[in-house]
Structure 1
Amino acid sequence: MPRKGMRSIFFRSSSPSRTSIPPSSPSLRFSESLMEDNIEIVESLLNKWDSDFSTYAKITSLFHGDRTLAKQYLHSVKGLQSAMQYLVTQNAASDKLVKAQNLMERAMKRLEKEFYQILSANRDHLDPESVSTRSSRSSASRSSISDLEDDELEDEFRVAGESISEVERVSVAAMADLKSIADCMISTGYGKECVKIYKIIRKSIIDEALYHLGVEELSLSQVKKMDWEVLELKIGNWLKAVKIGVKTLFYGERILLDHVFSASVAIKESCFAEILRESAMSLFGFPELVAKCKKSPEKIFRTLDLYEAISDLWPEIESIFSYESTSGIRSQAISSLINLGDSVRTMLMDFEKAILKDSSRTTVSGGGVHPLTRYVMNYICFLADYSGVLTDIVADWPLVLQSPLPESYFASPGPDDSPISVRIAWLILVLLCKLDGKAEFYKDSALSYLFLANNLQYVVVKVRTSNLKLFLGEDWAMKHESKVEQYASNYERIGWSRVFESLPENPTTEISPEQAKVCLKRFNTAFGEAYRKQKSWVVNNPKLRDEIKVSVAKKIGSVYRRFYDRYQLRFGSDSLVKYAPDDLENYLSDLLYGSGGVGSVSSSSSSSQSRGPLRFAQ
């Protein structure tokens, strides 16, 4: 044969060569002798490790102990491959080539068996958690576990010293053994055989792990038929499973596969896709099924949990499934995000509609905080805890006013107002307008204003003591606090007007004893009526309650004391004095605690109607 063909196999030289060598040249005879030696060496090793002929070979692994035998075996296979390449160039139909081919098949059968045994025997040591943990620890000194060659294992162990556990030691060794076998089989054209084994075993490990995490393949009809309590439990299981699935199972499998099949990018991609496609599609598809179920405002928080989980894990998902063959998995995760976002927006609109449609005509005993106020504000406070994902969801979702409220009720967003801030402010405004309507159900105007003060104070406190303050800001809080003061002032003015009017405008002005007695009787009557009426009224917030009582005491107590001190000797009979100045303060201190219990609900004079779609929380 031409010498150029021989040199391309055994030598790498850039220097020019002669065009031919005589068939009987010493160089050609040497090559033939070398190839025959390679075949004989392989045949000898195969006979030793052929389980059909050797009991020892049945129970012993090539990759046991220090791997010397394994290295010798793999080296011999490479020599056999070189021999076959040489024989093909000489005579493709020669008996020697046929023999070499048979030996190669026997060698691959043995390596296939070794590959299977290593994968099977090391299921626990090659679990994704062990692989991902080992990779993380070794990344400080090496780019990845894939950087380790067989002859570097001992150096790796020595450097790691006590820092590497026995489990990790076995894991590293098994990964290196699998890689050496895969490299050999791929280079000799037998890659499909080891890939088939790898897929079967590794897929079963991933599927089993996800099963134990509670991940199951469900259809849309199955999810739609589930009671919410059952579905909520499955969502909770999924939230735990997806983090482990992505950060441990999928990540660990990618690390292992990248290492074992580093010799072929195409094999890595197709193998990884086939092992994880079903399980990953099922895992990332579950949130989309939930998003397509019947929606209600109460379900928004679990929906946000699902959105947040995928959003937080997206960098890992994108990195792990970076192959083109796994683009469908990435698309499924994105599709779930899109559908979850749409579902959240729908539920936010339904929540707003539920507030607007609330037709309850009930009043709260004593003018306390209404259940609607508690429900809506608690709901919005929880929403604020999801500020990160909500910002993404509503970023390109303009606010469309759905209520009959004039636009003038709602200030135009400023340049620094985020979409989520605008939407939260709008929801609170819708609530406050609804409360204005409910205040009209109270026959007593003073109680109406006390009701408004109580409920607006509750709203402001909720804003100040939650993440809502980050969205609405100090100006919003101060503006609404001033409204609380205004409502409280209106309550004082109307609720105590007859008491104020019963006393002289200037208690130091001289009046006759008869006029003083008339004033005192009028005061007794007015104060007694106001006290009896307002004894059942309530102010839920202690600070607001104290402020109102101090204000009323100053306006009534100070005037009454001066009047009493000036005319007490002229009243004639102690029976005419029902309230001494000191007693008056005690009476006032008993007010606004409510006799019917804080926040208890009683029916108004008008007929009670349905509470509407919202589920109120006391």
Structure 2
Amino acid sequence: MERSNLPGKAMSFSNTAFYGASGSPTARLFVTPSIRKSDLDRPPRIEDDSSNNATENADQVFQDVDEFLGVLSAAGDGSTPPDVPDAVELLCKIVESRIAKYTSGENRNKFGRMNEEDDSLIDAVMRLSRLSNALRQFPAGSTAASSSNRIGTVLQLAMAFMEEELPNLLDDSRNGANSNDCKLFLFNAKDENAGSGREEKYPRFSPEVVTKIGRIATVMISAGYENEFCEAYTISRRNAFSEQMKKFDYERINVEDVQRMHWDTLEGEITRWIGVVKYCSETLFPGERRLADSVFSEHLSFSLSVFSNFVRAAAIQFIDFGEAVSMTKRSAEKLFKFMDIYERIRDLISAISESCSDVCRNEINHEIAAVRDRIGEAVVSVFSDLESSIRNDIARIPVPGGAVHPLTRYVMNYLEYACEYKDTLEHIFEKISKPEQPSPPGTDTPFSTQIIAVMDLLDANLQTKSMLYRDPALRDIFLMNNGRYILQKVKGCPKIRKLMGDNWCRRSSGIVRQYHKNYQRETWVRLLRMLGHEGLQVSGKIAKSVMKERFKSFTSAFEEIHKTQSAWVVSDEQLRSELRVSVSAVVIPAYRAFLGRFRQCLDNSKQAERYIKYQPEDLEAMIEGLFEGNNNNAPIAKKKT
């Protein structure tokens, strides 16, 4: 995606100075035209040996120059220019000589490695800058003006040298040349928990190096070379940013590539993007702001402008990717990555708001917020797709044994996972629905209304699927299983429970209990009618033939129920136990009473054994085998009477 650079604080450098057409950082040296880079590679021409003495007596030269600066300050409007002391020329030669030591010969000194020499050179250049500014007030043709030209030439040489050495100083420090604190902040960007690794100090600069860079900033800005310093500094920091992105194996991806990616591949890129944005929001941006504030401690307006331009360039990369993802085809499984992107963008907005200039904050945050809103719209659309998926899930074959339907598990697990983002989803739905007034506490919110709508659709779908079972009792088991699963999921997730409300939970519990009662009525109440006393007495006597038939019919019916319902499935242990207990509570007392009253009417023990196949304890043990999903669960052998 092509994006024009956003305007920032009015400065003479722009983003295009640091990024080529390909978007990769490119370094260049910004040298004042009157000084060529080759001038830094050879020592200046020195007419006599006085520079050696000047170098050895630098402290005295500095003192004499400081006294002359005091005289210039007292000179007023410059109408009578004072005589320029020899110390000024000696100072110029000191600067030329020390730059020559840094830039010429195989044994050249390394700027940044020689703390005393570095500081002395910076002190000398600072005095040159002050002299240049002070001597400008005097008319042309005066000795002061002549010295000003000489100082200006040396100052240009010094500025070019510092401008060239600044990136080297920053790079050497980053690589640990000037600081023992050079550990990188690294974590596996492919890990879902990216960002949870050990955080090390960023950026990795010693206080001495930061102070040195800050002094260079002060002297270059004071000399009027603020653009050159800011350009060189910004190039270095953007190169450092690019190196950090390589640590994450992160590359900029255009919209077309994102659109062509398979979701599994794109999911990995999203995970990496999330880790990078988290790192930038929490570590890199704050670290860069601290560094900029330290370097520009005497010119905080430059700190804010340079840092804002740095953040703008980085944020545009993140915005482009988020926008590209928001344009991909929506589907239910993408919700959670969309949510992660939304939250990371929110954190990015917060990080920028806390540290950037007003112009950068307003412009970048506007674009980031637009991408965030598109991701929010995608989230709402995903929930609509979830509703469509539930409506369109039309099964023609019932789930074996009346078990919990896969759709029920999918939807409830999906909602449980989604509610880990409850606060964010509440915000998204509130924002997208755009109500005139926010929902008052204790009432349904747009998101809770959405969840309830999904649950109602699921319930309607399950009701339709229950009609696939011909056995009304199995139909009740199916609805009881799914209703209980849904209820337990809601109760087990405080966030869903809060959305659904206690009234919903009580109502759902009542519905599950009703399915339980319906099941008992369809199965066991019908069986118990066989143990009724009606028709067992004729003319005051027990009709043995009728009584024997009752025992046979009950036994046959019980065995058939046991065989059938042992294959039914109740996976929830508590529900399975409740069902068995309730069945035993209905069947066993009735059977024991019937057996106790009519057993003695059988003629002998052999006859009793023929018609009374099971004892109450046998039936109780068989009931314990119900709902196991076992088709091979045969009746147990009867106990000896």
- After TM superposition, the score normalised by the length of structure 1 is 0.78
CA distance in 2, matches of 1:62, 1:126: 9
Tell me whether 1:289 sits opposite 2:299 in the alignment: no
* Unmatched tracts of structure 1, length 5 or more: 1-5, 135-164, 401-411, 598-618
Equivalent AA in structure 2 for residue 443 of structure 1: R
Structure 2 portions without partners, runs of 5+: 1-68, 186-199, 633-641
Structure 1 stretch displaced more, 499-508 or 209-218: 499-508
Residue of structure 2 aligned with 1:475, choices 496, 503, 508? 503
Alignment match, 1:464: 491
Q: Is 1:496 paired with 2:524?
A: yes
TM-aligned CA distance change 1:450 to 1:283, over 3 Å: same
- Residue 9 of structure 1 deviates from its aligned partner by 6.0
- Relative to structure 1, the CA distance from residue 119 to residue 169 in structure 2 (aligned partners, 3 Å threshold; closer, same or farther) is closer
Which of 427, 431, 436 aligns to 2:458? It is 431
Q: For the Cα contact (< 8 Å) 1:507–1:563, is it kept in 2?
A: no
40-49 or 120-129, which deviates more: 120-129
1:523, 1:358 → 2: CA distance? 41
Give how far 1:433 is off: 1.0
C-alpha RMSD of the superposition: 3.6
Q: Is the 8 A contact 2:135 2:145 kept in 1?
A: no
1:326 CA drift (Å) = 5.7
Q: C-alpha separation between the residues in 1 aligned to 2:490 and 2:582?
A: 25
Deviation at 1:344, TM superposition (A): 0.3
- Using the TM superposition, name which of 508-517 and 554-563 deviates more: 508-517
Is residue 545 of structure 1 aligned with residue 571 of structure 2? no
| Cα deviations by residue, 1:344-400 (Å, 9 ceiling, x for unpaired) | 000001101110121112211111111111111111111111112111111144599
- For residues 441 and 230 of structure 2, what CA distance do their matches in structure 1 show? 60
Structure-2 change in CA distance of 1:172 and 1:323 (3 Å): farther
Letter in 1 for 2:593: R
1:468-526 deviation line (CA, Å, top 9, x unaligned): 22322333222211111110110110122331111116999986142422322332232
Quote how far apart the aligned CAs of 1:276 are: 4.1
In the alignment, residue 433 of structure 1 is paired with which amino acid?
A: A
In structure 1, the residue matched to 2:542 is 512
For 1:409-448, what aligned pairs fall within 5 Å after superposition? 415-448=442-475
CA contact (8 A) 1:445 1:494 kept: yes
Shift of 1:89: 7.3
Q: Equivalent residues in 2 for 1:5-20 (5 A)?
A: 10-11=73-74
Deviation at 1:186, TM superposition (A): 1.0
- For the residues of structure 1 that align with 2:282 and 2:202, how far apart are their CA atoms? 20
- Report SS of the residue matched to 2:398: strand
Out of 43-52 and 344-353, give the one that drifted further. 43-52
Cα distance in 2 for residues equivalent to 1:87 and 1:451: 100
Query: Closer, same or farther in 2 for the Cα pair 1:125/1:327, shift >3 Å?
Result: farther
Q: Where does 1:351-430 land on structure 2 (aligned, <5 Å)?
A: 351-398=386-433, 415-430=442-457
Distance 1:189 1:261 in 2: 15
Contact map agreement 2:531 2:590 (CA 8 A) in 1: yes
Which residue of the partner structure matches residue 96 of structure 2? Answer: 47
Query: Does structure 2 retain, via aligned residues, the 8 Å contact 1:366–1:447?
Result: yes
Partners of 2:181 and 2:205 within 8 A in 1? no
Find the counterpart in structure 1 of residue 558 from structure 2.
527
Number of the residue aligned with 1:227: 262
Show CA shifts across 1:290-314 (max 9, x none): 1110111111111111112222443
Residue 82 of structure 1: how far off its partner (Å): 4.3
Distance 2:112 2:420 in 1: 58
Question: Which residue does the alignment assign to 1:158?
Answer: none
Can you list the C-alpha shifts for 1:54-80, whole angstroms capped at 9, x where unaligned? 759942538723465245314422442
Contact 2:480–2:515 (CA<8 Å) still a contact in 1? Answer: yes
The 3-state SS of whatever aligns with 2:115 is coil
CA distance in 1, matches of 2:350, 2:225: 35
Instruction: Give me the whole-angstrom Cα distance separating, in 2, the residues matched to 1:302 and 1:129.
Output: 39
**Correspondent of 1:109 among 160, 175, 200:** 160
Structure 2 distance, partners of 1:129, 1:470, is: 52
- Once residues 596 and 308 of structure 1 are traced to their aligned partners in structure 2, the CA distance between those partners, rounded to angstroms, is 50
Identify the range of structure 1 (78-87 vs 300-309) with the bigger mean alpha-carbon deviation.
78-87
Gap change, CA 1:221 and 1:189, over 3 Å in 2: same
Q: Which residue of 1 aligns with 2:380?
A: 345
Task: Say if 1:298 and 1:120 are closer, same or farther in 2 by CA, change over 3 A.
Answer: closer
- TM-score, structure 2 as length reference: 0.76
Whether the aligned pair in 2 keeps the contact of 1:308 and 1:389 (CA below 8 Å) is yes
2:368 aligned residue (333, 353, 360): 333
1:97 is matched with: 148
- Counterpart in the other structure of 1:162: none
Do the aligned residues in 1 keep the contact of 2:551 with 2:612 (CA within 8 Å)? yes
2:183–2:204 contact (8 Å) kept in structure 1: no
Q: Which amino acid aligns with 2:278?
A: K
Tell me the distance in 2 between the aligned counterparts of 1:90 and 1:323: 47
Contact 1:288 1:336 in 2 (8 A): yes
Cα distance in 2, alignment partners of residues 596 and 354 from structure 1: 33
**Alignment partners' CA distance in 1, 2:107 and 2:308:** 35
> What displacement does 1:266 show?
5.3
**Does structure 2 retain, via aligned residues, the 8 Å contact 1:536–1:596?**
yes
Shift of 1:534: 1.8
The whole-number CA distance in structure 2 between the counterparts of 1:258 and 1:462 is 52
Partner of 2:56: none
Return the alpha-carbon distance in structure 2 between the equivalents of residues 77 and 392 of structure 1: 59
Amino acid at match of 1:342: E
Contact 2:202 2:287 (8 Å CA) reproduced: no
| In 1: Cα distance, 2:204 partner to 2:340 partner | 38
Residue matched to 1:454: 481
C-alpha displacement at 1:541, in angstroms? 1.2
Provide the C-alpha distance between the structure 2 equivalents of 1:38 and 1:57, rounded to a whole number of angstroms. Answer: 29
User: Is contact 1:126-1:171 (8 Å) kept?
Assistant: no
- 1:132-171 to structure 2, matched below 5 A, reads 171=206
- Counterpart CA distance in 2 for 1:560 and 1:132 is 79
Equivalence for 1:603: none
Number of matched pairs:
537
Please state how far the C-alpha of 1:11 moved relative to its aligned partner.
4.1
Mapped pair 1:319 → 2:354: yes
Partner of 2:190: none
Q: Distance in 1 between matches of 2:475 and 2:387?
A: 24
| Contact 2:113-2:178 at 8 Å conserved across structures | no
Indicate conservation of the 8 Å contact 1:77/1:107, yes or no. no
State the 1:98 CA deviation. 2.5
100-109 or 363-372, which deviates more? 100-109
Q: Quote the Cα distance in structure 2 between the aligned partners of 1:169 and 1:553.
A: 74
Q: From the superposition, tell whether residues 354 and 533 of structure 1 become closer, same or farther in structure 2 (CA, over 3 Å).
A: same
**Percent of residue pairs bearing the same amino acid type:** 28
- 1:84 is matched with 135
- What's the CA shift for 1:455? 0.5
Deviation at 1:126, TM superposition (A): 10
8 Å Cα contact 1:440-1:448 kept in structure 2: yes
